[in-house]
Amino acid sequence: MFVDSHCHLDRLSHKTHGSDVAAALDAARRAQVSQFLAVCVSLDDMPGLAALSREHDDVVISAGLHPLHTPTDEPDVDAIMDAATRFDAVAIGETGLDYHYRDSVPADVQHARFERHLIAARKLGLPVIVHTRDAKEDTLALLEKHLDPSVGGVLHCFTEDLDMARRAVAMGLYISLAGIVTFASAEALRDVARRLPLDRLLIETDSPYLAPVPHRGKPNEPAWVVAVAECIAETRGISVDEVAMQTRANFYRLFRAAAPEVSAELRDSLSRAGMV
């Protein structure tokens, strides 16, 4: 029923499941989460992510280098494309710009890295997973320059303003909301959730980070994506089922390489609902 469109399964470490990824996934499945996108932050992690995907049919992966990660070697476009192809990634990323921590990785390094990922995504025809913080105009400018709108991408764990969200959607991007939308201080973000078209929203945990209310302060886990859906449903005045169904349809529309996992029965159901 639900999809966790962005989680870091290789970084899960929490008391409730003793760092056991399989147990965390089983808990999520019991909560009706039936698809997971395990997002890469370093190309060195690709073999381990690929092994997770082979072990679990409901896990797909991406290929990329986080804007704040410091690699031994900076990957060029060919290296990014090779990793994505060799390990059957369904997306490129996460990549992007984070000027909040520009002292960690200089802005010019982030800029060049993001551009290489966008070029790789365009060449492969894969959607891009974008991390953006305090870098609105530069992020949008690079996306406008390189993004193939017919393929698109997502601004993940979105925390920026409504203007940025609308401009991104106009480019062919989706907006993904994480646990932050449930925080008491996040009324502006809930306004984004309320005012954007539902067919442009995704939900995620970004686990093990940013646990939603009522789990704040704990390591996050994929099962808790349900809390994000519940918050969006309450904000919009619609049912949780509608949020789950539409964001699931959105996920498969964006991440087309994951779409074969959808059953014929679900495709028929989505079609009857006008969601595909």
Helix H, strand E, coil C: the string for 3-41 is: EEEEECHHHCCCHHHCCCHHHHHHHHHHCCEEEEEECCC
Partner residues linked to 133 by β-bridges: 98
On whether the CB atoms of residues 176 and 156 are closer than 8 A, the answer is yes
Q: What is the mean pLDDT of residues 87-95?
A: 98
Structural domain total, the chain: 1
* Residue 276 banded pLDDT, cuts 50, 70, 90: low
**Amino acid 102: pLDDT:** 82
Residue 214 φ then ψ, to 5°:
-100, 25
**Least-confidence region, from 54-68, 101-115, 129-143:** 101-115
Q: What is the pLDDT of residues 192-217, one digit of tens each?
A: 999 999 999 999 999 999 999 999 99
| 266 pLDDT higher than 80 | no
On whether the CB atoms of residues 220 and 208 are closer than 8 A, the answer is yes
| 57 pLDDT higher than 90 | yes
Rounded Cα distance between 39 and 274, Å, is 29
Q: What is the pLDDT of residues 18-40, one digit of tens each?
A: 678 999 999 999 999 999 999 99
**Amino acid 239: pLDDT:** 98
Q: Percent of the chain, pLDDT > 90?
A: 88
- Buried/exposed 135-145: b ≥16 CB within 10 Å, e otherwise: bbebbbebbee
Q: What is the pLDDT of residues 149-196, one digit of tens each?
A: 999 999 999 999 999 999 999 999 999 999 999 999 999 999 999 999
* Residue 59 banded pLDDT, cuts 50, 70, 90: very high
**Amino acid 270: pLDDT:** 55
**Amino acid 262: pLDDT:** 46
Task: Provide the residue range defining the domain that includes 212.
Answer: 2-272
**Amino acid 72: pLDDT:** 87
pTM: 0.93
Question: What CATH number should be reported for the domain holding residue 246?
Answer: 3.20.20.140
On whether the CB atoms of residues 217 and 211 are closer than 8 A, the answer is yes
Rounded Cα distance between 27 and 14, Å, is 13
**Amino acid 216: pLDDT:** 94
The answer to whether the bond into 94 is cis (omega within 30° of 0) is yes
